[in-house]
């Protein structure tokens, strides 16, 4: 296999800052092109609205932009690669020349990922952990794109929750490496809300530090999820405080990236939490 650029280790994020794990938490802002997003923010192919959203996410302080065109909400109707590309590509092509942020594509299909990286995406975010389309790993390997592997499963039965999640993620990582993806290009995601009960989701947050044994950067996507709605008795658009609590807990447990809808608010949450957890300080910090 030919040598390719290891993009993830060479990425820059906000204001040209180098991507370095463990210094602070990186914020991934979400753009949903799907019309049936669980969070109610799907833009349904409105390219102008997508560009506006992308620019606002950038202005609000995100480090990475994640765009997806197929809903992954419970009970969603699967779509074909062709349908996904029709939704995704006009939006991705429009924003790739407009934003300075690295772009992640949220897809589990190799055909979609291939065209997305050709159009400027530098990370592939696979919610299936290579279970849906193993060829996705080959796209990441040949392009040098970063690869996010999320834990996902049918049903909610576990022998031991965190060890089972870790074992599944380890299998996904090994598949990717065997396909030629550099280990330094791989990020893991415990899959908050996927194949888990609400109690499982809370346990994942409480025990997130156990996944550090896999020695890969960790992404957590708890933003606006239904578990928060159950805890708070609130609709999707009123879960910002609940999301903030999970972001803080995730960072304390070792998360390196948080994937969020409410970017401005979560950037602020991350900065304060990072100041305590990582010793991060803003430029020009006066210690006196």
Q: Which residues are catalytic?
A: 225, 259
CA distance 27 to 205: 17
What DSSP letter does each residue of 65-122 carry, written as one string? EEEESS--STTPPP--HHHHHHHHHHHHHHHHTT--S-EEEE-S-HHHHHHHHHTT--
Residue 117 structure tokens:
């990286």
CA distance 41 to 134: 30
As a whole number of Å, the end-to-end CA separation of the chain is 55
Residue 108 structure tokens:
């589990």
The set of long-range contacts for 226-229, using a CB threshold of 8 Å and a minimum separation of 24, is 226/38, 226/193, 226/198, 227/192, 227/193, 227/198, 227/201, 227/202
User: How many residues in total does the chain contain?
Assistant: 288
Q: What does the DSSP 8-state code read for residue 153?
A: -
Identify whether the C-beta of residue 64 lies closer than 8 Å to the C-beta of residue 102. Answer: yes
CA distance 13 to 199: 34
Pairing state between β 219-220 and 186-189: unpaired
């Amino acid at each position: 296999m030919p040598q390719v650029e290891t993009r993830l280790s060479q990425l820059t994020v906000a204001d040209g800052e180098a991507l370095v794990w463990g210094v602070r938490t990186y914020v991934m802002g979400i753009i949903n092109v799907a019309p049936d997003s669980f969070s109610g923010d799907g833009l349904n192919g409105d390219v102008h609205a997508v560009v506006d959203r992308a620019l606002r996410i950038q202005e609000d302080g995100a480090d990475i932009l994640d765009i997806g065109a197929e809903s992954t909400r419970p009970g969603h109707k699967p779509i074909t690669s062709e349908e996904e590309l029709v939704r995704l590509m006009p939006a991705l092509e429009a924003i790739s020349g407009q934003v300075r942020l690295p772009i992640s594509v949220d897809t589990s299909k190799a055909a979609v990922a291939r065209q997305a990286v050709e159009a400027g995406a530098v990370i592939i975010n696979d919610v299936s952990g290579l279970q849906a389309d193993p060829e996705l790993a080959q796209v990441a390997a040949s392009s040098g794109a970063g690869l996010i592997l999320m834990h996902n499963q049918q049903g909610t039965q576990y022998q031991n929750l965190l060890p089972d999640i870790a074992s599944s993620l380890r299998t996904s990582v090994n598949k990717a490496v065997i396909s030629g993806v550099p280990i330094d290009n791989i990020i893991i995601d415990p899959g908050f809300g996927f194949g888990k009960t609400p109690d499982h989701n809370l346990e994942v947050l409480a025990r997130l530090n156990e996944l550090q044994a896999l020695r890969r950067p960790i992404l957590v996507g708890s933003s606006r999820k239904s578990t928060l709605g159950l805890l708070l008795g609130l609709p999707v658009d009123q879960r910002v405080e609940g999301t903030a609590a999970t972001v803080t807990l995730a960072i304390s447990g070792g998360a390196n990236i948080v994937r969020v809808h409410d970017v401005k608010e979560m950037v602020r949450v991350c900065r304060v939490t990072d100041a305590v957890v990582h010793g991060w300080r803003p430029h020009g910090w006066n210690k006196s």
